[in-house]
Structure 1
């Protein structure tokens, strides 16, 4: 077994890899401001209402910046002595807060569908809204051209309805329609989309994929990567300029939410080292809107084993903490199980109405091998663990392998969606911290409670409060584009744990305090990506800050999702303006 089920779909690789590979394999950091030394005189003085995110000094009137670093912060009288004749002054109308940190998101696998129509539950609260949105999109697409949509998730609608060929043909017969499931493990097509792909009722199913049929006739639903790849085979392919535009568009969206640093959580799965090379090239042409930390994937195309993948990264000069302050390689990514809402997460007990609780992606021996490949090269580990059995599986391997390995690498469990008290304590003992996808609670909490996991397990989703009680430093993430990037909404959910579906509270004992939730999107998240000079505004830290219309540290959490970002700054220079 391997990570293959959780790598980019072959269709994504087929469509994007040629444009990315054009960047080559030479990794040349741009080193923006790398050689600049902070001086005793500020080049920027920020004056206004400042929430520092530093519990020892939570508020300030001014901060002084030199060469991208904060050289003074406090009262105006304390800081203005650092200004000189050439010092620029900034007096924002809003509140200055630390730049937010998104510790787990996906840029590369989001590029394929970036401009596709959004039919997620966020955009389409009812199934009728999905159909109406597709009809509207079809009306705006020239005859014969594809209508492409993304993020459809039947588990969030009553009865888990499918977008069948019959429904999609009623939307438009003269325009092929393809819709990707949010998990990307399923796709839905109209009859003209199947015809464009050369798939008929008599087409054999590809190995590992399903062409769903009823009475020998295609229903319009295909499942798993080989079948999805068949349906998507003839879609238009982007060129290098499209990819470059898409990366900047994604990162600008992050900056618009106040994010100044992010972790790309699965780098290399489409085009290997060329993905790193392209990021550095784009950053060299024009500084990226957000700092990017990369997690190198343990399963690369053309590499037979994780050890081979590690050697390929090493041969290209992609080693732990290589790069610069804008683009840096930081972690080793592996995937232990699948998706809870797709019922492929690995659980100790069966899913509701089913006989199994999913499965692991690796045997225990294989899992130790892929972990060891990362540890041997000194990487921080990022281990995708959704179900409680996957957490147990990974902990067993780590408890065997970590003694004697390099310390201080801040290994992580990604999602750690459902855990036990014992597992949290073992994570603390192993110095492994969790990063929680809080939208599991917000968007899927009711589905987990009522039809997927049952109440007891659903109440153990994303245990932020318990993680703190166990002495851990949790972070919160979006898993973009699984859910939209919105750190302040994630923090709101960590405090309130209210479900979008019915407004009820799921697992009230797991409600975090406001301070804990805000730390999870600032200082904790920065710490997890080895960015200790970010997440709080204090002397010596990077001058990464955001101007917002309301202070989350002094306002009610219920309104955090409505806080507007006006400006985002990296090293004291603008990265985004609304």
Structure 2
């Protein structure tokens, strides 16, 4: 299987594997909620403006909580009988909304470059700004120490410019520089970085990697894992304590956007069971700020998918095992790569090219890998980016799923970036729901339209409205660190479909309604991660909520990305405070 945007790059394994491996493989759930029984009287009464996310009763002024569960919600008079002398009265400064759900992001593969300087298009609107940001970072870094930057994407700048050795030598003459491409398929380095790695113009390309050259001289563009690993082998590596701090930082960043539950979408890619063990260990020391659902990756180094399935089972990692904070829920398979990286699998070629990407599996190996997950009772979470990948995955699922009865496993296609009407209808018939990366549209929509796929195909990007019309329950996700976790921005894009590049609207027929977009980051997303007790504020559900400065259900969607989060709560207790 090839490296893709959802699998662990070997560079990640090189730098994080040892620290993660040291956490061991003991799965020990903390069960923080075990001692909090639900009673007839409220522990906490939340009083204020409450947007419930329940369309049948969208507003409330009081919410009664016992043992972390909502036991009453409505007018103050409706619930005040549930309070007693010991009930804590809480009056939030803002609007209470359901905790948002991030159904697809990556903790582990985001750790390596967590602290690197951000040179994404979101932070650097022009190529000149990228260069200036790296120069500024170099000026603040002691001579001889690495200057590290991340998320550079030439496809978002006119002419798709590379960060060459000559440019980086000029802006950082006294430091080795490494800049990671957003796809993680390339790094851009300067002369000092080549010297630190022991690489010069005479170094041969390793099998499966390339050192870019012009007239026999290294350009500074280093491509694919084999060459990148040679380039980065001597860089400092984090300790287990560094990684624990990084995980906490990532989860707090999610909570700061109103997220109370998330799906880690490729668990086990770097250090196998050790990744899940570390999450449980951290949660045992202190309750995590966000609930984590994990999707167990079908590939581990040196193991077949059947062997991987056996390893998870032997460690006691079975469907829905864990506790209320860290729970194993899915089996993850990646069928193709990145559309903006031109490795997504399409029915027709990319613009100006003679190929349309490729699948990561043969039909036979894909079916056997999916079957390994189904046999153990997992929800399938299948990465399908291009329209050919959707077709490839759909044909396999249509063949396999009838043999497993009518189990409510809520299988998913991740990204499902480019689909046809027929594919959406067949997904609905097969019981497969899509999760859309709306930032594909926001950040890369113009590039898909103008340089990667063309106008006609770009109209089929992230078809939220059509998914609803087909009877599907779509969700929206960030694929962090492909883009940052910000569910309300994703929902904004689903409604407006405006491109960051020029403000134009890409296929207005696919604009979601306000209720559809917000359901995709609350109730639908909760349903997709088997969290039916979350996503809206109703009697019987968990008291997971955020306090924000505006009600998204009644405010202008154009301003959703500016809504601020003051606090998040899990089971009615504070998890994050701004």
TM-score by length of 1: 0.99
Tell me if structure 1 keeps the 8 A contact 2:4–2:336. Answer: no
Secondary structure of residue in 2 paired with 1:86: coil
**TM superposition shift of 1:2:** 5.5
**TM superposition shift of 1:326:** 0.2
Which whole-Å CA distance do the structure 2 matches of 1:125 and 1:11 have between them? 27
**TM superposition shift of 1:3:** 6.0
Which whole-Å CA distance do the structure 1 matches of 2:49 and 2:372 have between them? 48
Q: Match for residue 526 of structure 1?
A: 526
List aligned pairs for 1:81-480, cutoff 5 A: 81-303=81-303, 305-406=304-405, 407-480=407-480
Aligned pairs, how many? 577
Which whole-Å CA distance do the structure 2 matches of 1:202 and 1:380 have between them? 50
Which whole-Å CA distance do the structure 2 matches of 1:480 and 1:29 have between them? 25
**TM superposition shift of 1:404:** 1.9
Which whole-Å CA distance do the structure 2 matches of 1:388 and 1:324 have between them? 37
Which whole-Å CA distance do the structure 2 matches of 1:172 and 1:153 have between them? 20
1:198-230 Cα distance to aligned partner (Å, 9 max, x none): 111111111111111111111000111111111
1:19-57 Cα distance to aligned partner (Å, 9 max, x none): 111111100000011243200111110000000000111
Tell me if structure 2 keeps the 8 A contact 1:3–1:334. Answer: no
Tell me if structure 2 keeps the 8 A contact 1:3–1:335. Answer: no
Tell me if structure 2 keeps the 8 A contact 1:34–1:324. Answer: no
**TM superposition shift of 1:231:** 1.3
Secondary structure of residue in 2 paired with 1:243: helix
**1:569 equivalent in alignment to 2:569:** yes
Which whole-Å CA distance do the structure 2 matches of 1:298 and 1:355 have between them? 31
Q: Match for residue 51 of structure 2?
A: 51
Tell me if structure 2 keeps the 8 A contact 1:567–1:576. Answer: yes
Tell me if structure 2 keeps the 8 A contact 1:385–1:416. Answer: yes
Secondary structure of residue in 2 paired with 1:92: coil
Tell me if structure 1 keeps the 8 A contact 2:6–2:266. Answer: no
Which whole-Å CA distance do the structure 2 matches of 1:361 and 1:6 have between them? 12
1:388-411 Cα distance to aligned partner (Å, 9 max, x none): 000000111011100121521000
Shift of the 316–283 alpha-carbon distance from structure 1 to 2, 3 Å rule, reads same
Tell me if structure 2 keeps the 8 A contact 1:488–1:560. Answer: yes
TM-score by length of 2: 0.99
Tell me if structure 1 keeps the 8 A contact 2:4–2:337. Answer: no
Secondary structure of residue in 2 paired with 1:450: helix
Q: Match for residue 64 of structure 1?
A: 64
**TM superposition shift of 1:180:** 0.2
Secondary structure of residue in 2 paired with 1:344: coil
1:389-447 Cα distance to aligned partner (Å, 9 max, x none): 00000111011100121521000000000000000000000000000000011000000
RMSD of aligned C-alpha atoms? 0.9
Which whole-Å CA distance do the structure 1 matches of 2:145 and 2:77 have between them? 63
